[in-house]
Structure 1
Amino acid sequence: MKFGVVVFPGSNCDRDMIGALCDDLKQEVIPLWHKDKDLSMFSKEDCIVLPGGFSYGDYLRCGAIARFSPMMNSVIEFANSGGKVLGVCNGFQILCESGLLPGALLRNAHQQFVCKNVFIKEEGNPAALKIPVAHGEGRYFASEEVLKSLNDNGQVLYRYCDENGKLTDTSNPNGATEAIAGICNEGRNVFGMMPHPERACSNILNNEDGRVVFSKLFGLS
């Protein structure tokens, strides 16, 4: 399995993602510049990753300008043909702006940037994973109709919780609707999440919970 990591002007987590995939998870990774278009080296079994950061300086709206980059046109085609795509933090925002995932990421409820370890849990699994967040606009929001569809179809991947796996107001770092931290599309090939699993894959950091996320999504160990 190969991973392509797209680099936009303002990306600042591309090196983190490449390091986690290459050094910690021993995967083949190809950096992709935002002005390029060619994804012919990737198959549907591979994955394109949109990393965190501040693409195009977050001017206008987070991810709104990156959505129109040449590479994103190719990523959208890749996803629509069944290829795997993962968006983390700013990458999640770009996926929502591009229409590959439903809903939107709004300004944090407390109107402040948040950067800390939080806990998330997979739907149907009570075990809590400690994963870092770092965002100012990470509050997931969607209409009642979209939320019902996400829940009915099992498209909610992760929710914010406390260290014991319980959903509480204080464990939700940004006020996300229904404590949603990550979702996927109906086809289950496009994944978006605000927490950074790539920052929790190394024993040097004393946290390898991010490996569980990559294992669940892509079968990596």
Structure 2
Amino acid sequence: MTTTPLAVILTAPGTNRDPDLVFALQLAGFATQRIDVRQVCDAPNVLRNATTVVVAGGFSYADALGAGRVFALEIEHALGAALRDAVQRGTAVLGICNGFQVLVRLGLLPGDGRRVALGHNADGGFVCKWVTLSAPASRCVWTRGLDDGIECPIAHGEGRFVCDDATWSALVDGQQIALQYASPNPNGSRGDVAGICDPTGLVLGLMPHPENHVLPRQHPHHGRRNAESGRLGLRLLQNGLSYAIA
């Protein structure tokens, strides 16, 4: 009997996108389990049976000390070694918005000891809008076959991708630029970066929310003649499922 791939969703106080993720991941074909990072001490082997780990978005710990910082410290303390071991075993990891910020602070992205940052948006404000994403050729398992891109919303104040020239060259040469803004750059990210992967292609972090465009009716132009693209974010999650069952 085939076992349904399990996606473990890591949450913290202030996380608010986990219900959306549960719905989207189950629609993609995953079984799901939500785990509050503060309760991991009661389930130390929580990642052992996971085929996929997702760090949910929101405003964990009210963005105290910087977006994702406290959440990352909690994960490092409770699950840092287990999470890195999981990636080495071939477990795919996804961090969305605040989850991307967490993966960067953990050093899982971009990997190989390099450092990047997700700074305040170039205009200094919070941006909430729909964007179109393109998926350049990369090693990322999550973005395979997304040749026509996806459309989904963004909602963040600290999403501007920043890195030095040497790191940028390494990311480009290593095909770690997984997603770029095809519509006007909403936050000033270098190279229009919306998401990057690690050198294995298993770990993806992105600022936009693909879990919020998994049904056509979620698109703001749904029902308007010739206005709907069909570029569902669901396909990114389905790629994760395809990898998990391969």
Q: TM-score, normalised by structure 2?
A: 0.79
> What is the CA distance between 1:128 and its match in structure 2?
3.4
1:51-200 → structure 2 map (5 Å cutoff): 51-69=56-74, 70-73=77-80, 74-102=82-110, 103-124=116-137, 127-162=148-183, 171-200=184-213
Contact map agreement 2:47 2:83 (CA 8 A) in 1: no
Counterparts in 2 of 1:85 and 1:208: CA distance versus 1, 3 Å: same
- Tell me which moved more, 80-89 or 95-104: 80-89
1: CA distance, partners of 2:50 / 2:171: 24
2: CA distance, partners of 1:152 / 1:186: 11
- Residue identity opposite 1:212 in structure 2: R
> What is the CA distance between 1:145 and its match in structure 2?
1.2
> What is the CA distance between 1:129 and its match in structure 2?
1.8
- Residue identity opposite 1:149 in structure 2: A
Tell me whether 1:17 sits opposite 2:51 in the alignment. no
Q: TM-score, normalised by structure 1?
A: 0.87
Report which of the two structures shows the higher radius of gyration computed on alpha carbons: 2
Gaps of 5+ in 2: 111-115, 138-145, 220-229
2: CA distance, partners of 1:88 / 1:10: 14
In the alignment of these two chains, the number of paired residues is: 211
- Residue identity opposite 1:138 in structure 2: G
Contact map agreement 2:15 2:58 (CA 8 A) in 1: yes
Query: C-alpha offsets along residues 65-124 of structure 1, whole Å, 9 cap, x if unaligned?
Result: 111114442434433544221100000000000100031100000111011100110004
1: CA distance, partners of 2:44 / 2:217: 33
Question: What's the RMSD between the two structures over aligned residues?
Answer: 2.1
Instruction: Give aligned-pair identity as a percent.
Output: 31
1: CA distance, partners of 2:11 / 2:22: 11
- Residue identity opposite 1:189 in structure 2: L
